Amino acid sequence: MSKRFQESGEVLRVPGDKSITHRALMLASLAPGRSVVRGALTSLDARSTARVLRGLGTRISPLRGGAMISVDGRERFRTPTRRLDCGNSGTTARLMLGLLAAHHFRSTLTGDASLRGRPMRRITEPLVAMGAHVHGTGERLPLTIEGGDLVASRWTLPVASAQIKSALLLAAAVAHVPLELDEPAPSRDHTERMLRRFGFVIGQGAGRLQFEPSGRFHPAVFDVPGDPSSAAFLLAGALLAGLSGLSVGGVGCNPSRTGFLAVLRRMGAPVTIDDPIDLGGEPVGTMTVGASPLAGTTVPASEVPALIDEIPVLACLAARAEGITRFEGVAELRVKESDRLTLLAQNLTAIGGDAHVEGDDLVVTGSTRPLAGRVVTAHDHRIAMAFQILGLSRGCAIQVDDPASAAVSFPGFADQVEILRRRQ
């Protein structure tokens, strides 16, 4: 039997959008003068971006929760005096490679052990084709890049990836050269939306993106909405805890980020978006979920780019749904902060669930039996959060080996989980 979460209009909030925060800090750093970023995520990944930008001569005020961030940008970065540490943030590393490709100096990017194991060639190869110089194989961090005189280019992306696309767009924007990209499928479009604010023309159609260097960066106010990926965990938590009427307000509702809502609806969850507004070119609204039994579904490969970060929590929901859920073509999970594809199957099995990998597909069979045991996260924030959410399901007793890793993207996550637990 479900319980009403709210009786007096209570609405939960999530931290600022991680993708938009990274990009706002980067673009503000290239605008000569003072910009302001409001509602920014202040997690470890966002702080990695700020640290790297400071190493390139940008003055950025401390990233503190609830504080407005000021960014004193410069038209060109300053030559760094030491290695640029990207921490655990793949977005920081890959987008900064694009920005640095258009600067005529040598810089070296590095990161923690997890980031040093993630692939970079899909970024460095097209940047070299545009005219940058990468020392070594360009496959893994630490990686040294030396910017050059970039030239107009056309590139076919090997996978639908907002990080690859954004790195190339940022390189072209700083170098003021045209660029054409062919995408196998749509991916997050935050970079395109932001660049259009500065007068850059970006045409799209039939899987092709055409960029014209018609704009210039200038000081601006960046408003960051709540992160839809973070909201997905709270919506899933309400479903597993049997809570009806949970609302998360001020959330980014960009269609390229909300593919998980369609999956929730197919599984039987009533989810609505209310109070829509436009915030700096991004749609924002309130997401509300009602309690409902869940059924298995198929997530085709064509949907994956719009929900890649939510697959861990969707897989945990699938473990409590009736029937089989298949996530097709999710090989990209293998090169995230961990091998998420393997970890999801192994951990769900270890706690008594039924999950396995078939080629590039993840197959989860739901069950109502109690799930219990220890989950190995490999310090991956989304694995840690997904299984903490699964622990809200009735009869489940799940121990997560590194719950603190949630701070990479969702500071205060444990407090939000406790709110849901108390309402059960």
Active site residues: 309
Phi-psi region of 280 (alpha: psi -120 to 50; beta: other; left: phi over 0): left
- Contact, 35 vs 26, CB < 8 A? no
Rounded Cα gap, residues 214 and 226, in angstroms: 30
Residue 323 CA neighbour count, 13 Å, CB half: 11
HEC sequence for 381-404: HHHHHHHHHHCCCCCCEEEECCHH
First to last CA, the chain: 10
Contacts with 95 (C-beta within 8 Å, 6 or more apart), sequence order: 22, 23, 26, 163, 166, 167, 170
To which residue do tokens 């604010």 refer?
Answer: 197
Element (H, E) at 134: strand 133-135
DSSP code of residue 68: P
User: What are the contacts of 340-344 at 24+ separation with CB within 8 A?
Assistant: 340/311, 340/312, 340/380, 340/382, 340/383, 343/376, 343/377, 343/378, 343/380, 343/383, 344/311, 344/312, 344/315, 344/383, 344/386
